[in-house]
Amino acid sequence: MNNSLNIQSALSILYANLKSFLLLTLIVAVLSFGVTFLIPKEYKSTSIIFPGRQFSVSKVVIEANAGNQEDYLMFGDADDCEKVLQLLDSDDLKLKLAKRYNLWNRWSIEDTTFAIHWLKLEWNEMISVKRTEFNSIKIEVYDKDPKMAAEIANAVVYYCDTVRKEMNSKITNQVVKIVKDEFDLTLSRMKELEDSLNTLRQLGVLHYKEQVKAFSKSFAKALEKGDDAACKRLKSQMDTLKKYGSAYQTIKDNLDKYSAKYPDIKMKYDEALANSRSLIPIEFKVQNAYPDPYKARPIRFLWVVLSVLTANLFLFVYLLYKLRLASKYA
């Protein structure tokens, strides 16, 4: 019952003040239409990218099982898309664009303590970065100059890769240094051990275990034959083995350990170098941004409709309040 009365009251207000509503509609429509011509035109340019699979160069080129890796030319999944979105929303990217295109002046941002805060607000107003239903990323840029809108839209994609490379360099350069130190230490230690073995080889210690067996057998035969010269010579060689044999075997064992480690350390070093020198692009650009000759904002029709609806709503609320106030004191 109350709903029926409310509807009837609303209809009665509209009917009784129809001329006022029509006059207000006409006035607001004309005024709002005129105001739209005072608002600067803004043009929109759009760039679309698909995120790529997140691989390091070493994973798809160097590693022994690289052929079993997923195809790095495939489009990325939702997680890859989210990573790219995070980069596109990073402060580093925004500041690089602001510096490159002087967005501070372009967007009339004063150099104050809160300049970055205002930059972010203007960014959200002038630049839109959204994930589409197809798992691609659409970048829309508005600007008073259509050429500049297209240039900034394409630059957003470019600087996304730049920011990622800088972030990657900070990490990979440290990794390269750590792995290189280990690699150089391994090579240095292997050379020291090899030099020590060469010194012992010059003394006649070549293959300790095999020589011990061979000399013992030869000494026994020489002793059996009564060959004193051979026995003396073999005894001298056996004394040398006895003196240096233990050191030779220890050095040889250590060299074998380092030699076994060397391929893994070398691969780590190659991977670190590859990752530091190049990156697989994180996106596939499927649509470059181009200047659009037609303005995107303001949409005059929408402005007029919203202005008219808002003005009539305020008038209706005012008349309703006035009616109830009159009823209260009647």
- What distance separates the 2 farthest-apart alpha carbons in the chain? 148
Residue 287's SS3 state is strand
Residue position matching structure tokens 């959200």: 124
Is it the case that residue 303 has pLDDT exceeding 80? no
Domain count for the chain, please give it. 1
Residue 230 falls inside a structural domain: yes
User: What local confidence, expressed as pLDDT, does residue 119 receive?
Assistant: 93
pLDDT tens digits, 98-113? 999 999 999 999 877 8
User: What local confidence, expressed as pLDDT, does residue 76 receive?
Assistant: 66
User: Model confidence at 4, in pLDDT bands (50, 70, 90)?
Assistant: very low
Task: Evaluate whether 56 touches 265 at the Cβ level (below 8 Å).
Answer: no
Compute φ and ψ for 272, nearest 5 degrees: -60, -40
Is it the case that residue 161 has pLDDT exceeding 60? yes
Task: Summarize the confidence of residues 205-213 as an average pLDDT.
Answer: 72
Task: Evaluate whether 5 touches 267 at the Cβ level (below 8 Å).
Answer: no
Residue 45 falls inside a structural domain: no
User: What local confidence, expressed as pLDDT, does residue 257 receive?
Assistant: 93
User: What local confidence, expressed as pLDDT, does residue 298 receive?
Assistant: 76
Is it the case that residue 68 has pLDDT exceeding 50? no
Residue 249 falls inside a structural domain: yes
Specify the pTM. 0.61
pLDDT tens digits, 211-241? 767 766 776 777 777 777 877 777 777 777 7
Residue 153 falls inside a structural domain: no
Residue 62 falls inside a structural domain: no
Task: Summarize the confidence of residues 56-79 as an average pLDDT.
Answer: 56
Residue 286 falls inside a structural domain: no
Residue 102 falls inside a structural domain: no
Own/partner pairs, 293-296, CB within 8 angstroms, 24+ separation: 293/43, 293/146, 294/43, 295/41, 295/42, 295/43, 296/42, 296/43, 296/44, 296/142
User: What local confidence, expressed as pLDDT, does residue 59 receive?
Assistant: 54
Round the average pLDDT of the chain to a whole number and report it: 81
Host domain of residue 256 = 177-277
Q: Which of 31-45, 120-134, 176-190 has the lowest mean pLDDT?
A: 31-45
